[in-house]
Structure 1
């Protein structure tokens, strides 16, 4: 009996030591559950890049008695996404849609606001040499395309365009990336090659022959480059007609703890963004590129989810409602 008790105590000591060691290794700044004041004004770390449709929020011209936004984070919009999803760096932040879908899939403490601040048709962003012997997108099979990262939202939309509109087998393309994904859990597929960009630009990779084409941040302006898709605007119209959806790039997300503890503050933030949007309307092809609300974006979300799932960025095909919680589902009301 004594020996059994001794063994049990020894096992408990081992478990305690292991647990204590794990606790010591925790980075409490990243793992502690945020607590917000139950009532009154809340100060939030906010990554709010300055855009024409968010200028009022960025400048402080549009405000709320419920929230004080401490505008912080990098000027380069995309540079904030990794610390947001990996380190819980902001309470509220602009965020790319594909990154959010992956964050949701990996259980990150974020919830989406149905507030589109950037959407566009990316058909003109795929560039090749002006004299390249590419008659169209189908010729890219077996070729090399430079990208920032495999899971970037613009790149995901470009693969969807190639697949859905032009019948391209995107798995037969080598995607040459110079950055990792925002979510550390995601591993690039086998047809992704990593490259050091150094002091070159992504356009340089096309110009020096390292790759056959590149997905740029905007249509090419260098006269030595041209879009792979011959008539981007007509292709965008065809996408909209067939898919019935915008290509949404960026929205806003808030920490789940904020949404749970202070739904009134989340509603206030959403209202501020909506007010800022109304001050700077922008359309393309005669449609609103900044729709607000779940119902207004339902088809946009459905197509985005389908594209992310088809490209194996997420392992489960979400329902639109899965992207939201009780607080944000009610923002349409």
Structure 2
């Protein structure tokens, strides 16, 4: 039987790499891999629909679907997840000692609608009472990494957002105090300088994030995997084949981290870290499928709505291919 050839763009995460390098071959599918940074993949997919299948920002995808744009359809695979206490960086001289001190400050984000920023703003609102409209926002280049606009949106006048030209760099602006803080998945280059002009808002972010998970049960989802709609409609079986391959790839990643014959991961206590993570978050701490991710999949659309990035909250079932709704993790 002839194989369905699909281009697939994503970063080469350990939980995705076996599909990208051919270690795992989805049944009936020949993958043509394109390895690229998420920001580049998202721009090319959202603006040009360049790939048959790709990793995609869950926030941006939800924005499209909430407004009736059905050019993509997702499967419940989540290649990127991250707690976001760790991504808030402040200038040491800005007088910011706790989250409420962010009120009235100038804060930069690489992209206002990126999932990391949406989730961090939701965290600040619901955990610490910091309203998005109490902050003056800036978006643009950070430490040389330029992120061209990948999705269009309008904000109410109560939200002040300055979209800066590409040559204006938020990294030096934070160092010099032009910005009081940055919310970004990328740590400022100056963070590791000695001395450094910046620090994390949550110094012991690991403990803060662990406490958050134990209290809420939420492990934030950043990215999902989408098909171009016409590819899925012509080959709905391919969604099931890819989902199965992603599950197997994740299990391989788990096994690599627990290998003790000789450490495959360049981290001395990787096994101890894996054991502690499973103790806190469960054996399958990076679950796929809808049921084990209901909490995370519920709060993100809520945050998008509260932040005026969507006009309605879509149901979870609207976001994913119908034949994947009942799949197990």
TM-score strictly above 0.5: yes
Picking from 163, 187, 191, the partner of 1:194 is 163
- TM-score w.r.t. length of structure 1: 0.81
- Listed one character per residue, the Cα deviations across residues 31-75 of structure 1 (whole Å, up to 9, x for unaligned) are xxxxxxxx84111121032111111011111103411111226x2
User: 1:135 aligns to what SS in structure 2?
Assistant: coil
Q: Which residue of 1 aligns with 2:38?
A: 77
What residue in structure 1 maps to residue 244 of structure 2?
Answer: 271
CA apart distance, 1:289: 4.6
Structure 1 residues not aligned, in runs of 5+: 1-38
TM-score (norm 2): 0.82
Residues 147, 215 of structure 1: 8 Å contact kept? yes
| Cα shift at 1:195 | 1.5
Distance 1:112 1:65, change over 3 A: closer
> How many angstroms apart in 2 are the aligned matches of 1:232 and 1:181?
30
2:219 aligned counterpart, secondary structure: coil
1:142 is the counterpart of 2:142: no
Verify: 1:256 aligned to 2:223, yes or no: no
**Deviations along 1:237-272, whole A, 9 cap, x unmatched?**
332234321111112111222222212222111111
**Equivalent pair of 2:289/2:326 in contact (CA under 8 Å):** no
In structure 2, what is the equivalent of residue 292 of structure 1?
A: 288
Give the equivalent residue in structure 2 for 1:312. Answer: 308
Match 2:78 to one of 116, 141, 147: 116
| Cross-structure match for 2:260 | none
CA RMSD in angstroms, aligned pairs only: 2.2
CA positional deviation for 1:294: 1.0
User: In the alignment, which residue of structure 2 is the partner of 1:183?
Assistant: 151
Counterpart in 1 of 2:220?
A: 247
Structure possessing the higher radius of gyration over alpha carbons: 1
Q: Using the TM superposition, give the Cα deviation of residue 188 of structure 1 relative to its aligned residue in structure 2, in angstroms.
A: 4.3
Report the secondary structure of 2:26's partner residue.
Answer: coil
Q: 1:319 to 1:199 in 2, by over 3 A?
A: closer
Is residue 208 of structure 1 aligned with residue 176 of structure 2? yes
How many angstroms apart in 1 are the aligned matches of 2:11 and 2:289?
Answer: 21
1:122 and 1:218, CA in 2 relative to 1: closer, same or farther beyond 3 A? farther
The whole-number CA distance in structure 2 between the counterparts of 1:240 and 1:61 is 33
Gaps of 5+ in 2: 141-146, 258-273
- C-alpha separation in 2, matches of 1:229 and 1:289: 23
